[in-house]
Structure 1
Amino acid sequence: MTEKHLICLDLDGTLLTDDKTVLPYTKQILAQLKKEGHEVIISTGRPYRASESYYHELGLDAPIVNFNGAFIHHPTDDSFKEVHSPLDLDIARDIFKHVEHLNIQNIIAEVKDNVFLHYHDELLFEGFSMGNPIVKSGDLSMNLQECPTSILIQAEEQHVPAIRAHLSDVYAEQIEHRRWGAPYPVIELVRTGISKAVGIQYISEYLNIKQENIIAFGDEDNDFEMIEYAGTGVAMGNAIQALKEKADTITLSNDEDGIGQFLAQYFNI
């Protein structure tokens, strides 16, 4: 009997195809592994409201990592001790004040499932209104009254390096910042020390699964820590090169059942 494993799935660019669906073969393999007693979790930069439909589609009954580890909770078990690690509100307000002059297009602050947009933007509004959150537009320094789970800075590609350099220079001890891929070209900020690895470690200890029996799949730079922490870190075929270099192995792309194909081979299905 194979020891119980924890299978950790990033969503965008990993579990989800480019048109944001889960391929039937991968879904079937995950269902079979769950039936055999393995645990499957989602570990994503998305808030829960934007990952809930996939949680239910896969028939999951385990905790979930949202906001890249800033919010760890169990959607179906109130006895699970959730962990919420937001940014300091004063630091957040300082960031709002200083990045506004760095060629940004917008700033979005999220407090769990509530969304605050600095500038109203119909397209962004649509993208962040998944799951019917409370959405407010207007000056974040005024509107945001509690510590944000994460901050997103939207900017054109050519301005991203300068913004990230500023964040590293000024806030290195208070925040982590990572780049999201398409369709949302944003820089995400979370509290320092927060990563998906923190989330999967917390859940693996709760489920009593050894680190060596953790398999994690990812494609972007917000997956670095998780891929390195897992016993088996798997980069998707479409992953950025830097992640492929950190991973233990590389599978097919998100549009080619990369997760299903790898797991079928790994577990000899």
Structure 2
Amino acid sequence: MHQKLIALDLDGTTLNPDAQITLKTQRTLTELQNAGHIVSIVTGRPNRLSESIYQQLRLTSPMVNFNGALMHIPGQTWAGEYQYTINKAIVFQLFQLKERFKIQMIAAEGKTMFLADQAYANSLSFFPTTLKSDEILTQASLKQEPAAVTVFVERADQNALRAEILREFPDVSVNTWGGPASVLEIVHRGIHKTTGLAKLAAHYDIDQSDIIAFGDESNDLEMLAYAGTGVAMQNAIAPIKAIADDITPLTNAQDGVANYLRQYFKMD
């Protein structure tokens, strides 16, 4: 079988419910890399929360973070690296809107930056529950344009805040997170996972029809639609299953990605 590009969402997809890579998944992805296929992480996570997984899988491909806003090779200087950023004035505007919209936390991130206006105790583990002094977000500490701004807001205020941001800043996109948390994520307008996936395919000269992409949530929609084979997880939300070319028989708790790939590539 000729070379394929395998694009992997992390949470709810390649990672099990404990956010771990299982031995079966690791072994399967290593075998596919050794056979000459490209395995790449395409995630909404920041690079600070995905580089350990990248190292564990011994990947050498570029990684896509912040839902397409950043593509880089961890630990290397790479000519193809990019980062789409947004105007930091958005953050200052959010400070003004805190009371009106019951905003609980604002975080601004980029490849080499993490700042939050307060610690936020949550079950997501995406944000530190205590902040170091150099991680506190203020107008003075925010010196560079962020790749992504994450806003925790009361669910009742989510839609109104989203509309307000888009009205004030037409050059951004505002996405909502799946799952129990009420979160808005602000990125450069028109950026999504396919932004990175298309650049990956071009970098490796791989045809769109030779891309296999796995996902489970709304931020995977464009990626699965773009891939030659868009695969929804058994545990995916209904709109993702509806547009997918295929659905894994097993969930992310049952090694769904590894099981699917082993059958697809006839590895057993």
TM-score between the two structures when normalised by the length of structure 2:
0.89
Deviating beyond 6 angstroms after TM superposition, the runs of 4 or more aligned structure 1 residues are: none
Q: 2:260 corresponds to which residue? A: 262
Q: Which residue of 2 aligns with 1:227?
A: 224
> 1 CA distance for matches of 2:188 and 2:149?
10
What does residue 82 of structure 2 align with? 83
Structure 1 position 65, deviation (Å): 0.1
Q: Given the alignment, which residue of 197, 200, 203 partners 1:200?
A: 197
Matched residue SS, 2:252: coil
Once the two structures are superposed, residues 157-213 of structure 1 have per-residue CA deviations (whole angstroms, 9 ceiling, x without a partner) of 343333334334444x31112222347542211000211100011111111111111
1:190 is paired with a residue whose SS is strand
CA–CA separation in structure 2 for the residues paired with 1:100 and 1:144: 21
Identity %: 38
Q: CA–CA distance in 2 between the matches of 1:183 and 1:133?
A: 27
The letter for the 2-side match of 1:143 is S
Does the Cα contact within 8 Å between 2:158 and 2:182 map onto a contact in 1?
Answer: no
Cα distance, 1:265–1:257 mapped onto 2, change above 3 Å: same
* Equivalence for 1:17: 16
Q: State the Cα distance separating 1:40 from its structure 2 match.
A: 0.3
1:247 maps to 2:247: no
Distance 1:33 1:265, change over 3 A: same
2:161 is the alignment partner of 1:159: no
Aligned with 1:181: secondary structure?
coil
State whether residues 120 and 127 of structure 2, in contact with CA within 8 Å, keep that contact through their aligned partners in structure 1: no
Q: Is 1:115–1:128's contact at 8 Å kept on the other side of the alignment?
A: no
Gaps of 5+ in 1: none
> Which residue in the other structure is 1:105 paired with?
104
Deviation at 1:222, TM superposition (A): 1.2
1:34 aligns with 2:33: yes
Name the count of aligned residue pairs.
265
Cα 1:158–1:18, aligned 2, differ >3 Å: closer, same or farther? farther
Seen in structure 2, the aligned counterparts of structure 1 residues 46 and 135 have a Cα distance that, compared at 3 Å, is farther
Deviations 1:5-58 (A, max 9, x none): 010111111111111111222222111111110000001111112101110111
Measure the CA separation in 1 of the matches of 2:240 and 2:98: 28
Structure 2 Cα separation of the partners of residues 127 and 258 of structure 1: 23
- Residues of 1 paired with 2:25 and 2:110: CA distance? 32
Tell me the SS of whatever aligns to 1:30: helix
Stretch of structure 1 that moved more, 104-113 or 179-188: 179-188
